[in-house]
Amino acid sequence: MIVHADLDAFYAAVEQRRRPELKGRPIAVGGAGPRGVVMSASYEARAHGVSGGMPTVRARRLCPELVTVPPDMDEYAVVSANVMAVLHSFARRVEPVSMDEAYLDLAGVGMRPRALAEVLRRRVREEQDLALSVGVGPTKLVAKLASVAAKPDGLLVVPPAEVEAFLRPLPASRIPGVGPKTTEALTRFGLLTVGDLADTPRDTLRRIVGAAAGDMLTHYARGEDARPVVPQSVEKSLGGERTFPADVSPEHEVIRTTLLGLAQQNAARLRAAGLAGRTVTVKVRFADLRTVTRSRKLPEPVDLAHDIFAAALPLFAGLVPARARIRLVGLRVEGLDGGARPTQLALGERETGWSELERTVDRVQAKFGPAAVRPASLIGKFGGPGNFSGPKVVDRSERRVEGRPERATAHAPRQSKNPG
């Protein structure tokens, strides 16, 4: 049997856990500006129709009392690691899917599936004060659908003999990979439930949604899923990006501080995972929504913000015309492997430097929190660790307004002094 464990409203739940005044209130983790997007919504907010991926402006219309909280990815990574450690203590084969969900293969585990699932939920509740929904089934597909059906804060076990009865009434859109367009195509032919798909010939489904998708739907509708639980694999890349509250010019100070902040965040994540990357990629989205990227392969794998930032700056400069208006900047590190290689010191070079400094910062932040120490150029620039949404962006480039130059100033909405 396979277990699918899924933390409920993960980012929002972590924020409610560490800020008790937010418990029971509708909150959304994400950007607060006019271009902000909801990353996670508490169940109190979901009751008003707020959901992940929704523009924050629309979320506030649906729920005027919504509290918006900036994301703290460093904190979420720590909490996720703690939860994954609990899962690994019960099964040898654990496959994390994201920060907040994972599959466990119960082969060789000496506990009954329901008993194990109950212990998992209790351990996560007691140790992390978070709700864990768990689904158990003979395949990854059934386990995943069972955990979705169990939400919030529930447990559902689907034995092999009950798979067909469990699947048939479910909406066809519950099948993984069935998005809005596929759902629309199926609906036109009256295929609304998983049972409808199971009763439809494979060739018909292939004609409706294409050969590959038709084959997948045929297997999934019958509960057939041969995918094994694959233990955690090494990430191929990691990164982040920031959408500015208003378009900025290439020479704006916020470009440099954003790239530095992203480099710091990426480097810390690399070192925490024991990884290093060979390729640095910068992404830029312009005001007209055109998006471009440029990459540079480094001579050796790196895991220091100093090296990542040094590679990112010239990449950005080579991407952006002088008069461009920039909407978003992103930074990724790719080609990851198992840690930075030792470097050969040049004659007269100091034996200690950026590596020792950044690893010392890691230890301080681990003990006192991500905000305990950071580069001076980032102090006051951003709202919090892992959050690149400062209270104000001032663009000092010049525009022509009615034939005269005028300083263009763009402001993000003022943050509440009492977010609780």
Could you give the 3-state DSSP secondary structure of residue 93? strand
220: its two tokens = 């999934």
Cα–Cα dist 134/157, whole Å: 8
CB 205 within 8 A of CB 194: no
**Side chain identity, residue 155:** L
Cα–Cα dist 94/92, whole Å: 6
Question: Can you spell out the DSSP letters for 287-349?
Answer: TTS-EEEEEEEEEEEE--HHHHHHHHHHHHHHH--TT--EEEEEEEEEEEESSPPP-PPPTT-
CB 214 within 8 A of CB 207: yes
Cα–Cα dist 237/211, whole Å: 31
**Side chain identity, residue 73:** M
**Which residue do the tokens 């998005």 mark?**
179
Question: Can you spell out the DSSP letters for 117-128?
Answer: HHHHHHHHHHHH
**Side chain identity, residue 363:** R
Return the percent helix, strand and coil in the chain, to nearest 5: 40, 25, 35
Sorted by sequence, the CB contacts under 8 Å of residue 43 that are 6+ apart come out as 8, 9, 152
CB 10 within 8 A of CB 145: no
Could you give the 3-state DSSP secondary structure of residue 273? helix
Cα–Cα dist 140/158, whole Å: 12
| Buried-exposed string 146-159: b where 16+ CB fall within 10 A, e elsewhere | bbbebbeebbbbbe
Catalytic residue ranges: 101
What is the number of residues in the chain? 420
